[in-house]
């Protein structure tokens, strides 16, 4: 008999994934900016980077432009970000 984990959220679906590993400032944020122009409002972007300045830069970028930094974590020297494109109001 199969058992399913209780209270496990469904996996996130990303509209775009960015691999900025090995790139230095400002390239990761420039890639994020370009990706955000390619996705619809409310969609998610996943980004991985190795430059520690992205911690500050991605956070400030999202705050300044109104996008939502849904998640941020660091694992084995790689910074993982989940960004949701802001919804525009009329």
Over residues 5-20, the pLDDT tens digits come to 567 777 779 999 999 9
Q: Is 62 a catalytic residue?
A: no
CB count, 10 Å around CB of 33? 13
Decide if pLDDT at 1 tops 70: no
CA dist 9 and 76 (Å) reads: 24
Query: What does pTM read for this prediction?
Result: 0.85
Q: Percentage of residues in the chain with pLDDT exceeding 70?
A: 92
Instruction: State residue 46's pLDDT score.
Output: 98
Which of 88, 44, 89 is closest to 32 using CA atoms? 44
Q: How is residue 35 written in tokens?
A: 């990706």
Residue tagged active-site, from 14, 19, 23, 25: 25
pLDDT at position 88 is 82
Which helix (H) or strand (E) element contains residue 60?
helix 54-65
Enumerate domains of the chain plus CATH numbers: 16-84 (3.30.110.40)
């Amino acid at each position: 008999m199969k058992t399913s984990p209780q209270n496990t959220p469904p996996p996130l679906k990303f509209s775009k994934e960015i691999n900025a590993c090995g790139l230095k400032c400002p390239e990761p944020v420039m890639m994020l900016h370009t990706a955000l122009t390619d996705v619809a409002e409310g969609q998610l972007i996943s980004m991985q980077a190795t430059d520690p300045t992205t911690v500050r830069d991605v956070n400030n970028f999202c705050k300044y432009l109104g996008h939502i930094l849904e998640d941020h974590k660091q694992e084995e020297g790689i910074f993982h970000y989940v960004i949701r494109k802001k919804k525009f109001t009329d």
